[in-house]
C-alpha cells in the first residue's frame, strides 16, 4: 500500500497530465541567458540522485498544471502518480525595503544599468551591485530557498524540481522575476529608474541653459531677434 501511495518510488509513473505547462527545453541544459544559468547552477550543484532527471522529465512532460508567482512565493500544482495533484511552494527571502531604495538609486545613477534595465535586459555586472548592498539577487545555495510539497517525501522531490525547471524558463523570458521574488515589482523599478533619469536630464538641461545664458558677451553687440540674421551671421 505504501508503494502505491508514494509517487516518489522509482517503480511508479505519473498520471498523464492534461493542459499542463510543458518545458520547451528537451535537453539537460536549461537556460539561454546568464541569469538562468546561475539559477540552474544552484539546483544542479546540489546532488539529488535520480530525483533530478525525474523532476526534469516531469517538467518536459507537462506535469506542472499551474504556476503562480506572488509576494516572494512560487505556488504550483503538480500531477504525480496519485489522482490528487501535489501542491508545491518555493519561498524566497525578501530584501528589506531600505536596501531596494539604495539599489534603485545606484542603478539609476549609472547609465549602463539604467539603459539595460529600461530595455528589459539584465546586465551581468548588476550582481556585484547587489552584493555590495548586502542583497543576493540569486540564491547562493539551495538552502536559501524554503520548499515544501504535499508528497511528504522531504527535501527536493521530483515535484519541486519540476517547478524549478519551469521557473527557469520563466526567468529566461523575464529576468525581472528575480527581483519580484525578492520583493520589488518590475513596474516600480522601471518607474523609479525612469523618474531618476528624467530628474538627472532636467538638471543637466538647466545647467546647460545657465551656461548658455550667463557666458561672457562682447560689449556693444546686441542680441538679434531675427533668426535669419543669426544663422546668416548678420
Q: For 71-100, what is the mean pLDDT?
A: 90
Query: Which has the closest alpha carbon to 168: 7, 6, 29, 50?
Result: 29
Place of cell 493542459: 19
Tell me how far apart the alpha carbons of residues 36 and 169 are, in angstroms, rounded to a whole number.
8
**Structure confidence at residue 4 (pLDDT):** 36
Q: Which 3-state string (H, E, C) describes 150-216? A: CCCCCCCCHHHHHHHHHHHHHHHHCCHHHHHHCCCCHHHHHHHHHHHHHHHHHHHHHHHHHHHHHCC
User: Is the pLDDT score of 120 beyond 70?
Assistant: yes
The residue with greater pLDDT, 28 or 156, is 156
The DSSP bridge partners found for residue 78 are 64, 86
Tell me how far apart the alpha carbons of residues 217 and 227 are, in angstroms, rounded to a whole number.
18
Q: For 83-107, what is the mean pLDDT?
A: 86
**Structure confidence at residue 54 (pLDDT):** 93
User: Is the pLDDT score of 2 beyond 50?
Assistant: no
Give the DSSP per-residue string, 29-80: ---SSHHHHHHHHHHHTS--TTHHHHHHHHHHHT-EEEEEEETTEEEEEE--
Q: How many CB atoms lie within 10 A of CB 23?
A: 21
Q: For 195-210, what is the mean pLDDT?
A: 53
154 class by beta-carbon count within 10 Å (0-12 exposed, 13-18 middle, 19+ buried)? exposed
Tell me how far apart the alpha carbons of residues 5 and 25 are, in angstroms, rounded to a whole number.
30
Length of the chain: 234
Give me the chain's average pLDDT, please. Answer: 79
Q: For 133-155, what is the mean pLDDT?
A: 86
User: Is the pLDDT score of 140 beyond 90?
Assistant: no
Tell me how far apart the alpha carbons of residues 175 and 186 are, in angstroms, rounded to a whole number.
10
User: Is the pLDDT score of 147 beyond 90?
Assistant: yes
Q: For 64-74, what is the mean pLDDT?
A: 92
The residue with greater pLDDT, 86 or 35, is 86
Q: For 43-55, what is the mean pLDDT?
A: 86
Distances (CA, A) of 50 to 6, 9, 153, 176: 15, 11, 14, 31
User: Is the pLDDT score of 200 beyond 60?
Assistant: no
**Res. 227 pLDDT band, cuts 50 70 90:** low
Amino acid at each position: 500500500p505504501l508503494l502505491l501511495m508514494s509517487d516518489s518510488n522509482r517503480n511508479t509513473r505519473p498520471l498523464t497530465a492534461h493542459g499542463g505547462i510543458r518545458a520547451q527545453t528537451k535537453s539537460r541544459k536549461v537556460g539561454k541567458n546568464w541569469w538562468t544559468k546561475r539559477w540552474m547552477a544552484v539546483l544542479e550543484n546540489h546532488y539529488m540522485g535520480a530525483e533530478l532527471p525525474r523532476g526534469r522529465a516531469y517538467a518536459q512532460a507537462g506535469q506542472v498544471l499551474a504556476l503562480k508567482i506572488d509576494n516572494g512565493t512560487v505556488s504550483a500544482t503538480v500531477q504525480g502518480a496519485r489522482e490528487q495533484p501535489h501542491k508545491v511552494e518555493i519561498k524566497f527571502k525578501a530584501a528589506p525595503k531600505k536596501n531596494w531604495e539604495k539599489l534603485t538609486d545606484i542603478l539609476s545613477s549609472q547609465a549602463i544599468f539604467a539603459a539595460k534595465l529600461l530595455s528589459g535586459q539584465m546586465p551581468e555586472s548588476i550582481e556585484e551591485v547587489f552584493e555590495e548592498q548586502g542583497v543576493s539577487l540569486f540564491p547562493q545555495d539551495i538552502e536559501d530557498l524554503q520548499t515544501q510539497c504535499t508528497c511528504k517525501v522531504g527535501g527536493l522531490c521530483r515535484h519541486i524540481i519540476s517547478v524549478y525547471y519551469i521557473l527557469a524558463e520563466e526567468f529566461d523570458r523575464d529576468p525581472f522575476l528575480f527581483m519580484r521574488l525578492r520583493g520589488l515589482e518590475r513596474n516600480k523599478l522601471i518607474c523609479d529608474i525612469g523618474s531618476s533619469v528624467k530628474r538627472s536630464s532636467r538638471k543637466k538641461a538647466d545647467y546647460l541653459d545657465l551656461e548658455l545664458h550667463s557666458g561672457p558677451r562682447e560689449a556693444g553687440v546686441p542680441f538679434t531677434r531675427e533668426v535669419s540674421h543669426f544663422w546668416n551671421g548678420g
